[in-house]
Structure formats: structure tokens, C-alpha cells
Amino acid sequence: MAESSGPLPVVGWLKGAASDDPYLEGQRCQSCQAVFLGERENCSKCGARGKLKAFRMSNQGKLYSYCIVHRSFPGVEVPYVSAIVDLDGGGTVKGNLINVDPKPEAISFDMPVEVVFKDALGRKDRDGNSYISYFFQPAA
Amino acid sequence: MSDVYIMGVDMIKFGRFPEKTVPQLGAQAALMALDDAGLTIQDMQALYCGNLGQANGMVGQRILQEIGQTGIGVVNCANACATGATAFREAWMSIKAGVFDVVLAVGVEQMGKGLLGGGGGGAGISKEGLLGSGTMPSVFAEAGMEHARNHGTTFEQFAKVSVKNHHHSTMNPKAMYQIETPLETVMNAEMISYPNTKLMCSVNVDGSAAAVLVSEKKAKELGMGRAVKVRASVLTSDPFSDRDLVMPDVNAVTRQAVKQAYEMAGVGPEDINLVELHDCFATAEILHYENLGLCADGEAGRLIDNGDVALGGRIPVNVSGGLLSKGHPLGATGIANIYEVSTHLRGEADKRQVQGARFGMTHVIGLGSACAIHILERAA
């Protein structure tokens, strides 16, 4: 399968963008268990060198914090929910919380959410490439 | 090591001055601070300049080109919203180290309008509104909602911060705005990032502030009458915390800094008579009541409800009007805070004077992150 013909990942730590099994990849320090997003040499929690190991992050998590964005830059559709999610098994990720009414009364802390992968709202880079992004939605 | 004193300090009235250059704005405050100290640029042994927007533009040297090219060493600092405080602290350290007896610190910024942050950058596509929001109102809304999560803080309590600071600014002729904003006005203003409405976001303004710092020897020579003693100067960066990568942690960086500051000054929060803290957004101010030890964890909502942090209350916060109404010219803010606290310690704050103020604290956060805290004491 020619990967280059498919959509690109929105961030480097979204793996398998062109496959039917995309996932988010974390890097866990084997010395102190701190979790990072994206490849790196050293751990900034304990300073260990070369101890980071990639792992597949869970698609399940809980809403830690959020805000509801009403004013953004031209071309960004508002309102939407900007969410901070703690994934089960480690790793905190920020993204849009979709399929929820963007109102405080519809959102609760610690609500279970799941990670879903979809086209990046139709956004393309200057070479015309399309992208796969991740989103959160209330868990089924 | 010599104690360090502020002999002159001033700020221009914050506003929008597109017809001026950054060095011209900086020069204005520099001359005002020199006049306040009764000194001239020829007396200065070094210049520490804080500016963010032209961080590679040798702003300090260009200020000297406006007011006197005496050939002294110039250090140009950039440290996000802690830029001005960092320049002040570099000046403080040079005297503490015994290298100089009289130095000048200047903070200056010229701002555009609109949202800060969230610009993205890098390859690929814009992530704003795709992977959440990176704008400053959103980042600080999320930090506020973390407090709401932990302590039940309400939208109304966050909004009350803005009511208070706008009220304070009606007594500060150097603030950008002098306008009362009742609670319903704040809560019904355009929502930017819930829970921050437009009136809960700091104002982007142009501004400058400057201070003349001297050694104890020099202070005695000049007279201690209006001198302000720097009891603590602390700068920290953000320690690792689990969510810091996606949710800048302004709490840990502040808590580390204030602990060091209280130790250095040999005082506690109960000794502080007024605080100018980093209210870049109304949500942020609530967090820092607890971070700075002005109340116990979980008590911040009650502090704003009770009026404890208003002028006349137990521990007045941001009597200048704060970044929310005085305005927030990034590189100038840290020294403008020092001007405000110094003015109270000198008993010269007129209608907004905190009566009998002996100790005051200033606090700024530069996202990314830096925290600078100064504790000042009336010298005479």
C-alpha cells in the first residue's frame, strides 16, 4: 500500500493515518513513568536519557478541563469545546470535544470520552494534502 | 551583599500610541524614573531593558539613542509576560553582586489588538479550532475551569474579579480605562472563551515603565525618604507536571517562586499589605490568591465574594486596575507593577492608597513558563 497517497497525520504522534487503525502514540519514561507526546531523547521529569519507549495510547479517557471557544480567528467555526482529556493508562491530550452541545450545562468534569479519527475539518496544506485528525466525543 | 533600593520609578499612562516608536515609549518612562530619582542618564552604570515584540531589535541601545549614549552596558531581555520583571531582576542582581551602584531598568511594549496565541506555526495545517484552542483566553479559561473542577468556582466569581479591578482603575489616572463595569455588564459582555468574557480579558495597550535601582551605600547618599527596599526577587521556570505539555501550569511555577520569595524576605503572606498579581484573565487572578498564599486552597471564591481583595479589604489585590483595566503591555507590565506597589509604600497613591502599606508583592507569569515575584518594603 502506498502510504504517501493517503491523508497525512495532523501531528507526528498520530500513527497509522492512512490505515484503518489509526491511534495516538505516547512516549513513556521507563525510569519515572512520565508520559510525553512525540518522540524525544530525554525525560524532562527525571532527566533520564534514552529511556523513552513508545506505546499505543488508549482511545478512552475522562474530561479533565475545558473551555468553550466563542471567538477565534477567521475561518474557524465557533462555538466549539476545547477539551483537556486524561487518557486511561496515561497521557493527557488536548483537542476538540465534538457531538456535544457547546454549553456548560451539557458538559461535566470526568465525563467519559472516546477518541475518534476523522478528516481534519476539510483543512488542506498548501500542497493540497488532506489530513487525519483526532477528536473526542462522549463515550457511547 | 548590599541591599538594593528603588530610588526612582514611574510609568507612562497606558494607551495606544501608534505614532511613537518602541524606543521613544521606553525613553519616556526612563526619563520619568530618572527625574523621580533626581538623577540623570549620566549617573547610570548599566541599562536592563525588557521588550518582547522587538526582542532582537536592540531596544535598550535605541532608548539610549533617545536619551543619552553614555556607552554603558545594555542587556536586552525577553521572557514572555515576565519580560519587564526579568529586566528589573537582572538590574537587581547586578547591584546584589556588587558590580554596580546605580542602574536603570526599563520595560516597554507596543501591542496590536486582538487575540494572542493560537497562531500555530510549523508545517502542515493550522491546529487552532482543530486540536482545541491555543489562544490565551482559552488557555486561561481552561486553567480556571480546573479550579472550578477542584473547588466549584463559578462563572460569577470569576466575573467579580473583573468588576473589582475595573472599579479600582477608576482611581488610577494612569490606567488605560477608568470605567465601572457592574457584574451584569461583565457577565453579559461578548463571550470569548467560556468562562472569560471580553471584559475578563486583559487589555492590549502600549506602555512603558522604568525604575532606578541603587545600592545601600548610594541610597544613604541620596536619602532614604522615598526609597523602597527590594526584600525579595525570585524567578522560576515551570517544573514538570503531568499536564503541562497541553495545559500550561501557571500554579506550580508560582508556588515555587512565592515560597522562595517569602523565605528570602523573611516575611509571610500575613505581612503583605497589597499585591499586584498577573490578572491577564479574570480566571487567572482567582488561581493566584491560593498560589500566593493569600488564602488556603479552595478559599479563593470566598475571598472575592467577601471583598477581602478589594481596596479596603484584608489584602487588596490589583488596586491599580490590574492587567484587566490598567492594561497589559507585555514587556512593561512587570515594572509597572513595581511602580504601583512602590507608590503605595511611599504613600503617594492618592484615592486608591492602601493605608499604612509597609510590604507589597508583585507577581507576573510569562507563559511557557516564567514566574517573577518581588517583595518590596517601605524604607523610611
Q: Nearest CA to B321 among B148, B170, B118, B157?
A: B170
For the cut 90, the answer to whether the pLDDT of residue B114 exceeds it is: no
Q: Nearest CA to B189 among B23, B324, B299?
A: B324
B120: confidence class by pLDDT, cuts 50, 70, 90: low
Q: Nearest CA to B143 among B9, B246, B66?
A: B246
* pLDDT, tens digit (0-9, with 9 covering 90-100), for A15-68: 999 999 999 999 999 999 999 999 999 999 999 999 999 999 999 999 999 999
A33 in contact with B, Cβ within 8 Å:
no
Which pLDDT belongs to residue B112?
Answer: 76
> How much is the average pLDDT of B140-164?
98
Q: Is residue B170 packed enough to be buried (19+ CB in 10 Å), middle (13-18) or exposed (0-12)?
A: middle
CB atoms within 10 A of CB B268: 11
Q: pTM for the complete prediction?
A: 0.96
Name beta bridge partners: A60.
A114
- Is A73 in Cβ contact with B195 (below 8 Å)? no
Which pLDDT belongs to residue A80?
Answer: 98
> How much is the average pLDDT of B132-155?
98
Average pLDDT, chain B: 96
Distances (CA, A) of B252 to A84, B139, B203, B248, B339: 18, 16, 25, 10, 26
* List of chain A residues whose C-beta atoms are within 8 Å of the C-beta of residue B137: 67, 71
Which pLDDT belongs to residue B102?
Answer: 98
Which pLDDT belongs to residue A1?
Answer: 41
* pLDDT, tens digit (0-9, with 9 covering 90-100), for B165-215: 999 999 999 999 999 999 999 999 999 999 999 999 999 999 999 999 999
Q: Are both A17-56 and A58-120+128-140 of the same fold?
A: no
* List of chain A residues whose C-beta atoms are within 8 Å of the C-beta of residue B138: 67, 69, 82
Domains assigned to chain B: 4-113+203-378 (3.40.47.10)
CB B66 within 8 A of CB B27: yes
Q: Which residues lie closer than 8 Å to B197 by C-beta, 6 or more apart?
A: B159, B162, B186, B187, B188, B189, B190, B191
* List of chain B residues whose C-beta atoms are within 8 Å of the C-beta of residue A83: 132
- Is B138 in Cβ contact with A69 (below 8 Å)? yes
Task: Express as a percent the part of chain B with pLDDT over 90.
Answer: 95
Phi, psi dihedral angles at B145 (to 5 degrees): -70, -25
Which pLDDT belongs to residue A3?
Answer: 46
DSSP symbol at B201: B
Amino acid at B47: L
Q: Give the domain A58-120+128-140 fold.
A: OB fold (Dihydrolipoamide Acetyltransferase, E2P) (2.40.50)
For residue A28, what is the nearest residue in chain B, using CA coordinates?
A: B242
Domain boundaries, chain A: 17-56, 58-120+128-140
Q: Nearest CA to B46 among B27, B31, B61?
A: B61
For B169, the enclosing helix (H) or strand (E) is: helix B155-169
A32 in contact with B, Cβ within 8 Å:
no
Q: Which CATH class is domain A17-56?
A: mainly beta
Which pLDDT belongs to residue A140?
Answer: 84
For residue A135, what is the nearest residue in chain B, using CA coordinates?
A: B131
Alpha-carbon distance B248 to nearest alpha carbon in chain A (angstroms): 11
Residue B130 corresponds to which cell in the numbers above? Answer: 482543530
CA distance B291 to B259: 10
